[in-house]
Amino acid sequence: MPVEFLGRSDATRRLLAEAAKIAPSDQPVLIEGETGTGKQVLARFVHARSERANEPFVSVNCAAITESLFESELFGHEKGAFTGAIGRKPGKLELVGNGVLFLDELGELPHNCQAKLLTALEDRVFERVGGTQSLEFEGRVIAATNRNLHQETEKGAFRKDLFYRLNTFRLQIPPLRERPDDIPLFVEKTVEQCRRKYGRKFTLPDEETMDALKHYAWPGNVRELFHHVERIALLSESAEIPKRMWLSFPSSLLGASSAKTEDLRAAVEAFKKQHILMIVQSCNGNQTEAARRLGIERTHLNRLLADYEGRR
CA distance 265 to 262: 9
Residue 64 burial (C-beta neighbours within 10 Å; 0-12, 13-18, 19+): middle
| Cα–Cα dist 182/18, whole Å | 18
With cut-offs at 50, 70 and 90, classify the pLDDT of residue 77: confident
276 pLDDT more than 90 = no
167-204 tens-digit pLDDT: 999 999 999 999 999 999 999 999 999 999 989 899 99
pLDDT of residue 280: 78
Calpha distance 191→230 (Å, rounded): 7
User: Of all residues in the chain, what percent carry a pLDDT higher than 90?
Assistant: 56
258-312: which CATH architecture?
Orthogonal Bundle (1.10)
Given a contact cutoff of 8 angstroms between Cβ atoms, the answer to whether 81 and 130 are in contact is yes
- Residue 272 has a CB neighbour count (10 Å cut-off) of 19
Task: Please give, one letter per residue, the 3-state secondary structure of the chain.
Answer: CCCCCCCCCHHHHHHHHHHHHHCCCCCCEEEECCCCCCHHHHHHHHHHCCCCCCCCEEEEEHHHCCHHHHHHHHHEECCCCCCCCCCCEECHHHHCCCCEEEEECHHHCCHHHHHHHHHHHHHCEEECECCCCEEECCCEEEEEECCCHHHHHHHCCCCHHHHHHHCCEEEECCCHHHCHHHHHHHHHHHHHHHHHHHCCCCCCCCHHHHHHHHHCCCCCHHHHHHHHHHHHHHHCCCCCCCHHHHCCCCHHHHHHHHCCCCCHHHHHHHHHHHHHHHHHHHCCCCHHHHHHHHCCCHHHHHHHHHHHHHHC
Provide the CATH topology of domain 179-249.
Answer: Helicase, Ruva Protein; domain 3 (1.10.8)
Domain with CATH 1.10.8.60 in the chain: 179-249
| Cα–Cα distance list, 109 to 42, 66, 125, 128, 300 (Å) | 21, 9, 20, 20, 11
**Amino acid identity of 160?**
K
Average pLDDT over residues 230-237: 87
What pLDDT is recorded for position 3? 61
Cα gap 27→29, rounded to integer Å: 7
Length reported for the chain: 312
Nearest CA among 123, 124, 127 for reference residue 71: 127
* Cα separation, 100 vs 50, whole angstroms: 10
CA distance 312 to 310: 6
Has this prediction a pTM greater than 0.75? yes
310, pLDDT greater than 70:
no
- The residue among 300 and 158 whose pLDDT is bigger is 158
Give the model confidence (pLDDT) of 277-294 as tens digits: 777 766 767 788 788 888
CA distance 137 to 97: 7
| CATH code 1.10.10 region(s) in the chain | 258-312
The segment(s) of the chain belonging to CATH 3.40.50.300 are 10-174
Question: Mutual orientation of helices 39-48 and 10-22 as an angle, nearest 10°?
Answer: 50
CATH of domain 10-174: 3.40.50.300
Question: How would you class 35 by CB atoms within 10 Å of its CB: exposed for 0-12, middle for 13-18, buried for 19 or more?
Answer: buried
